[in-house]
Chain A
Amino acid sequence: DAKTTQPPSMDCAEGRAANLPCNHSTISGNEYVYWYRQIHSQGPQYIIHGLKNNETNEMASLIITEDRKSSTLILPHATLRDTAVYYCIVRAYNTDKLIFGTGTRLQVFP
């Protein structure tokens, strides 16, 4: 699976959009981009995934660049409960496990 690079930490004001970047310049054609988050003392939570089209669900939006070498997870109106570590993972559709990196620690402040 391709390697991902994320900033170690970010801050965001409550109510503002949180934009979390991820670089995956070695991504291959059959690899998807997945996002999970881990709130303190809990198991990771699935957020969203995509291949090449932008995706949106009730939690977030995922914007993937046309060359697929980077993506951005957008939380449109961040709340204090969105404070967590966010993991960007690239994996092939038919592989059997997720490999977690170190993620981005997002701190939402009042």
Chain B
Amino acid sequence: GAGVSQSPSNKVTEKGKDVELRCDPISGHTALYWYRQSLGQGLEFLIYFQGNSAPDKSGLPSDRFSAERTGGSVSTLTIQRTQQEDSAVYLCASSLDRTGALNGYTFGSGTRLTVV
């Protein structure tokens, strides 16, 4: 596609429920990144994929968070047993090469998650 697509754009869920957030990267982009941004805060790195493998999961805040990528394309970020502190905008980005050094990262518009 023309850009990075994320769905849903907004999600309200009850505390304790599981949620899945989806990211469709730009076609041909091998690298995919997940970040989150809490209200009024900066961007926090979560996880990075190169192809279908995740060399860097260092930013996942707890074992309730997991992510996968299939076919070198779509990625899903899953949050189990959601807590109120999980409320944030979850941003996905992709890049043509593994570093994003050549042409930067392209970010999606994010999924705003609200846990009530």
Seen from chain A, the residues whose Cβ lies within 8 Å of a Cβ on chain B are 32, 34, 36, 41-46, 49, 93-103
Given A36-B104, A43-B107, A45-B107, A94 and B99 touching (CB < 8 A)? yes
Min Cβ gap A50→B in Å is: 11
Q: Is B103 an interface residue (CB 8 A)?
A: yes
Interface: B100 (CB within 8 A): yes
CB <8 Å contact, A96 and B101: no
Question: What are 23 A-to-B residue pairs whose CB atoms are below 8 Å?
Answer: A42-B107, A42-B110, A43-B109, A43-B110, A44-B91, A44-B93, A44-B107, A45-B107, A46-B103, A49-B101, A94-B99, A94-B101, A95-B99, A96-B55, A96-B98, A97-B33, A98-B33, A98-B45, A98-B100, A100-B42, A100-B43, A101-B42, A102-B42
Contacting pair B105 A96 (CB below 8 A): no
Q: What is the distance, in angstroms, from A99's C-beta to the closest C-beta of chain B?
A: 7
Nearest 3 pairs of A and B residues by beta carbon = A46-B104, A43-B107, A100-B43
CA distance A99 to B108 in the complex (A): 17
Most chain A C-beta atoms within 10 Å of own C-beta, residue among B56, B103, B107: B107
Docked CA distance A32–B101 (Å):
9
- Name the CB-closest residue of A to B49: A96
- Which of B31, B33, B55, B100 has the most chain A CB atoms closer than 10 A to its own CB? B100
Q: Which of B58-104 contact A (CB under 8 A)?
A: 91, 93, 98-101, 103-104
B52 close to chain A: CB less than 8 A = no
B27 within 8 A of A: no
